Structure 1
């Protein structure tokens, strides 16, 4: 019998990480719930999961910088990406009406993304929780009739709650990008057209621009560049770069040339671009 693909997620069932996992792999998976991003890496490292789905950037909150460090330190392969629109709803027990609500609870970032809505209803006390889905589960488990959770539609479906107000997020174009991680770096998909790489450059003038110029000359498009200080080393940085290309030959040539101008160069993963929201 074929065993289900095991996917480690940060958070519990019906969190945005599980929704992203469903979008990438389909519903026929086994999600492995973890309390932290580091725990998802440990689970993958110990072969207790086949993949990790890890948030890497949000269109409002920006990059999740510690996650870049985790991917590099565990030396996992980035094998895919998925973009998820962040749609936030008010979830309550069946039968609860809006006027019954005294408390709204969710993850602090989700709360911040709904400030405009709650300014209109100052009578609702907003309380921070540790996870959007966990707040929904608590309402179900404790039968809280005066409390709503700010969470996704998957949480409503999973925990048997009603959506009493839809799309309360302030920015309707908010999305999160997730990376799909695997332990083994050897196997590469056909049709790859995107890569995530990491490197350092020397201290001389124009060191980084030399690298960027090589990509430009070979029509390799930079879609993201992120710098992070090297721990304990003054004025030294890791650069995390996402690149896309139309010609695999141009990409191969660019990588060969870039190697001469970088140190600690690492191809974190080569995969198929998947930016549909």
Structure 2
């Protein structure tokens, strides 16, 4: 039985690419039209894991996914970084002058702002997924529409790459989390994702951060999200990294005294960036 991985989007999407990179090619990907659907698949046991994008080096954090992490309380068992290379993809034979519409995921569109600004007459349309926009061109033989998607999508759906590497920043990378319903023990874990709330007193967040600093635990990411229905209250999501397990354990003991609703979302092995 192949391991089943729920992904947002269709085959040849960046989520599928990330799944292959983490798990290898001998997996079955389950296509889902939304991130919420991927979580439902995992919750219902129809998928073994979810691969979920959480941040992009250009577009920033994908905030709605933090809400899903909070609501579903899955365990983060790993991460994977993917270099995102965007291409302008068309139906075979279509030339640049034929293009009137460009369709892609909103984040992919933002990643290619500079290139798109050279073509002010094009109508930009937002789609659910980069690869789905490519598939739509192939399925409907669209001769006036281009998609922004991966070379993998062009190959899978029999399309042509009109312009390669149209992303503005060539160091464009997305970080994906690997989610599981069960805790998977990670030997040699050196990174953790945590969530907590602090009081409103002056310096309350600084006190927490100081606990990490004193134990030589590196804070690699911090994200705040409003607590639903509570004014001026925030959930803090942090990623921390350590070299010595004992430093991390001591930091957690200290942090517990300064926080409420503290939650270890996952302890896993840091994935070195691509």
So what's the TM-score if we normalise by structure 2?
A: 0.94
SS of residue paired to 1:276:
coil
- Map 1:125-204; keep pairs closer than 5 Å: 125-185=123-183, 187-204=184-201
Instruction: Please point out which of 70, 73, 78 is paired with 2:71.
Output: 73
Matches of 1:218 and 1:145, distance apart in 2: 60
- Map 1:96-115; keep pairs closer than 5 Å: 96-115=94-113
Q: 1:205 — aligned with what? A: 202
Matched, 1:275 2:272: yes
Matches of 1:212 and 1:122, distance apart in 2: 46
Matches of 1:152 and 1:119, distance apart in 2: 20
Matches of 1:264 and 1:130, distance apart in 2: 34
SS of residue paired to 2:249:
helix
How far is the alpha carbon of 1:8 from its aligned partner?
Answer: 0.6
Matches of 2:124 and 2:226, distance apart in 1: 36
Any conservation in 2 of the 1:81–1:275 contact (CA below 8 Å)? no
Instruction: Please point out which of 35, 44, 47 is paired with 2:42.
Output: 44
SS of residue paired to 2:6:
strand
How far is the alpha carbon of 1:85 from its aligned partner?
Answer: 1.6
Q: 1:54 — aligned with what? A: 52
Q: 1:28 — aligned with what? A: 26
How far is the alpha carbon of 1:221 from its aligned partner?
Answer: 0.3
Q: 1:264 — aligned with what? A: 261
CA RMSD for the aligned pairs? 1.5
Matches of 1:122 and 1:204, distance apart in 2: 50
Structure 1 segments unaligned to the other structure (5+ residues)? none
Matches of 1:69 and 1:220, distance apart in 2: 26
Q: 2:232 — aligned with what? A: 235
Matches of 1:119 and 1:34, distance apart in 2: 31
Residues 1:163 and 1:251: Cα distance change in structure 2 (over 3 Å): same
So what's the TM-score if we normalise by structure 1?
A: 0.93
Matches of 2:13 and 2:59, distance apart in 1: 18
SS of residue paired to 1:189:
coil
Matches of 1:119 and 1:65, distance apart in 2: 26
